[in-house]
Amino acid sequence: MTDIQSIKNRFGIIGNSPALNYAIQVAIQVASTDLSVLIVGESGVGKESFSQIIHSLSSRKHNAFIAVNCGAIPEGTIDSELFGHEKGSFTGAVDSRKGYFETVSGGTIFLDEIGEMPLGTQARLLRVLETGEFIRVGSSKVQKTDVRVIAATNKDLYESTQSRKFREDLYYRLSTVPIRVPALRDRKEDIILLFRKFVVDFAERYKTTPVQLDDEAKNLLINYTWPGNVRELKNIAEQLSVLSKQQLITVTDLQLFLPEKNMNRLPVLSSAPHMSSEFANEREILYKLFFDMKKDVTELKKMFLEILKNPALVNNAQNFSAEFLQKDHALNGNEYNTPVLSSAQTASLPSNMQQGNQPVILSQKDEIDAHEEVEESLNITDKEKELIIKALKKHRGKRKDASLDLGISERTLYRKLKEYDIDE
């Protein structure tokens, strides 16, 4: 059995996160088969390395391997690139040409960004996967090929099938074995290891001393969202190696190299040394929610006071009720009918609250006193549990979608479910 660490050393993969190790393990296990593989992951996570792992450990390793970026080939020429064409089949086709599926027969084709492939080409690819047959553009002759297809995407292909931008039959044919490469923000323990490797490499290239980070800079690096993943981290390391005027990088120096638009703009909390970064991010989300709730409550208080101070609204209580309920509907999305008390209901009220058939409003003093006694519940644990339950209900129990909606990792969500004893 091939050792995971030896594979990492061979292909320059750095990191020890469980998700990364699992993805490598799946690649090793599936390599000896001829099954189609779909590699899923965000841009910049290193999906092509996994295709090379699969090819190098397969029985096809001595044959050709080619990587094709489906998003970089124009729609009008991609069929010709993949399947070839005959002379005169279209303007500019001055000679016959073999396509990749013909030239790489016996080897492996890596189709990167498969989600960008046109629907017509998808139908041709499906035929190759199912029968091993293809037809050149402008020809009627069926040809055979023996190619293993490995595809990769940074899109949600299943969602694309629902919007009819990707063939559903091709999706299931490609994803015989899916490999999910984790995003850099989901393997925080590997960020500093990767950064050190990159700065050492660049120091050797540019004949300089490797830069180092102070503790605050390390914390910022770990908690940054990394939308460009490993590729973005490598770029930052190179910029620091070339442009930094000092060897020790502070948090202020590092912020100059991180794009401001990708920085977390939620309220910043002072992080104690023992507080985990994931917990800090959850706290920020909850505080933002509380600020929004506080704003809504303040607006409602202001509305009540204005109504109580306006005699015209007090004299016409039913109009006030309608206006209040309309505003409540705008805030909460609830639908109500303006309440009108029947004569029997009015008679059951205390004498000081009976006022014909109209809803009775308390005096200004009573209303203000009663309002001031209301205490808001700002218990973080309760609100966090409530948000998790709502997210799970919204996404029908799908943990991955719920965790994305909440802004936390799937592992953190699983821990919270156990902590709060939430039944899915």
pLDDT of residue 404: 84
pLDDT tens track for 187-206:
999 999 999 999 999 999 99
User: 45 pLDDT exceeds 50?
Assistant: yes
pLDDT of residue 281: 57
pLDDT bracket for residue 269 (50, 70, 90) = very low
Mean per-residue pLDDT, 306-315: 62
pLDDT tens track for 5-16:
999 999 999 999
pLDDT bracket for residue 383 (50, 70, 90) = confident
pLDDT of residue 360: 46
With contact defined as beta carbons under 8 Å apart, do 370 and 360 qualify? no
pLDDT of residue 376: 53
Mean per-residue pLDDT, 235-261: 90
Which of the two residues, 265 and 145, has the higher pLDDT score?
A: 145
Mean pLDDT rounded to a whole number for the chain: 81
* Residue 236 burial by Cβ neighbours in a 10 Å radius (0-12, 13-18, 19+): buried
Which of the two residues, 282 and 47, has the higher pLDDT score?
A: 47
pLDDT bracket for residue 350 (50, 70, 90) = low
**Secondary structure of 381-421 in HEC code, one letter for each residue:** HHHHHHHHHHHHHHCCCCHHHHHHHHCCCHHHHHHHHHHCC
Report the percentage of the chain scoring pLDDT > 70.
74
108/18 Cα distance (integer angstroms): 28
User: 306 pLDDT exceeds 90?
Assistant: no
pLDDT of residue 363: 46
Give Cα separations from 56 to 60, 102, 107, 216, 344 (angstroms).
8, 20, 11, 41, 85
What domains sit in the chain, N to C, each tagged with a CATH number? 4-182 (3.40.50.300), 186-262 (1.10.8.60), 379-419 (1.10.10)
DSSP E strands: which ranges in 138-206?
142-144, 148-153, 177-180
User: 113 pLDDT exceeds 60?
Assistant: yes
pLDDT of residue 270: 41
pLDDT bracket for residue 309 (50, 70, 90) = low
Instruction: For the chain, state the CA radius of gyration.
Output: 31
DSSP E strands: which ranges in 80-209?
108-112, 133-135, 142-144, 148-153, 177-180
pLDDT of residue 321: 53
pLDDT of residue 226: 95
